[in-house]
Amino acid sequence: MLELKHINRLLCSALAAALLVGCASKEPQGPQITLQDPEQTPREKWSDAMKILRDDMGIKGMKDVPVETARQYGLIAGVSEPARGNGGSMGDLAFGGLGAALFLIPTGQALGSWQIRQAAAWVPAGKAGNMAEAIQIAMDTWNKARAQAFSDLANLKVKPSALPDNSPGQYAGPKERFMENPILPSGGLVTSPSFTPAGKYYGPIFISGFHKQLTVDSSGSDIERDKAMKLLSTQLPEWFVIYSSGQQKSGRRIIPYPPSILVAGKEYLFIGK
C-alpha cells in the first residue's frame, strides 16, 4: 500500500505559506489539478482508500489525486519539496488547485454520503452467530472504544444502519427519517472486506450519527476532530473502518486536513497509484 509520510507537517506548512503569500502579494492562482475519476480510471490505479470507500463501504463521489501530482508537490515519502518551475508556491497548491483536489468539500448543495464522516464494522463470524448478535457486538465495541478515547462523552446516541448516513433509501419512510431510525443491517455472512484478514463477516454495519457524535465528543474532550478520529480508530479493532471527509481551510484558526480512511489507527489518503 502507498505509504505517506509527514502529511500533517506538509499541510500545516502549506497553510502558513498560503497566508504569507496572500498578505505579501497577489500571485497568479496555482495550476488547476485534474482529479482521477474512478469511473474512468483502471482499478489498479485507485488508491487503497478509494477501494475501501467504494468497494467495501459502497460510497461513491470521491476522486483520487493523481500520484504524479502528489510526487510533484512533495506529498509522498521521499519528496520533501515542490518541483521547481511550476509557477506557484506550496501555498498556492494547497489552497488553489491541489487544495480543491485534497479536500473535495463542495458548497451550495445537499451533502452526499461521501461528504460527511462515516464509520462501519464487519464483525468476524467467530464473534457472532447471526446479524442481530453482530450488531450488538459492533455497538458495544464502538461504545467501549469511545470511552477509552475520550474523557467527556457526548449524550448523543448512534444507531446501526444498513446504509451510510445521507444515502438514498437509508430510512423506510418519512416517519423513520424524522425519528432517525435507519433500516437495520440484515442478511448472513459475507466475504471479508479488503482491509481485514480473509474470512467470513457480518456487515457492513454502519454507525449512523457518527458525524454528529464525534463533533461533540471531540469538543468535550478538547481534541481537534482529525486527531479525535485517529485516536478513536486506534481503540477500534481491525474490522472497523472510519472515513474522514476532511476539513477545508476556514479562517486562520482552522487547520485543514485531507479526506482519508482509518483502520486500527492506520491512515490511507486518496492519492492514486
The grid coordinates of residue 21 equal 503569500
- Are residues 203 and 225 located together in one domain of the fold? yes
| 22-38 average pLDDT score | 58
Query: For position 32, what pLDDT does the model report?
Result: 59
Q: Which residue is listed with cell 443491517? A: 185
The answer to whether residue 1 is domain-embedded is no
Single pTM value for the model: 0.80
- Please, how many CA atoms are within 13 Å of residue 185, restricted to the half-sphere of its CB? 30
The DSSP 8-state label assigned to residue 172 in this structure reads S
- Are residues 85 and 138 located together in one domain of the fold? no
- Are residues 205 and 97 located together in one domain of the fold? no
C-alpha–C-alpha distance, residues 210 and 268, integer Å: 19
Query: For position 34, what pLDDT does the model report?
Result: 77
- Are residues 140 and 122 located together in one domain of the fold? yes
- Are residues 121 and 23 located together in one domain of the fold? no
Band of residue 72 on the pLDDT scale cut at 50, 70, 90: confident
The answer to whether residue 127 is domain-embedded is yes
The answer to whether residue 74 is domain-embedded is yes
Q: What is the total count of domains within the chain? A: 2
| 64-78 average pLDDT score | 75
183, 137 in Cβ contact below 8 A?
no
Band of residue 257 on the pLDDT scale cut at 50, 70, 90: confident
Band of residue 169 on the pLDDT scale cut at 50, 70, 90: very high
Query: For position 1, what pLDDT does the model report?
Result: 47
- Are residues 92 and 131 located together in one domain of the fold? no
The answer to whether residue 257 is domain-embedded is no
For residues 96 and 193, which has the higher predicted lDDT (pLDDT)?
Answer: 193
The average confidence (pLDDT) of the chain is 80
The grid coordinates of residue 17 equal 505559506
The answer to whether residue 53 is domain-embedded is no
The answer to whether residue 167 is domain-embedded is yes
Q: Give the closest residue to 160 by CA, choosing from 125, 121, 124, 195.
A: 121
- Are residues 34 and 69 located together in one domain of the fold? yes
Q: Which domain holds residue 204?
A: 113-245
The rounded radius of gyration (Å) of the Cα atoms in the chain is 19
- Are residues 137 and 68 located together in one domain of the fold? no
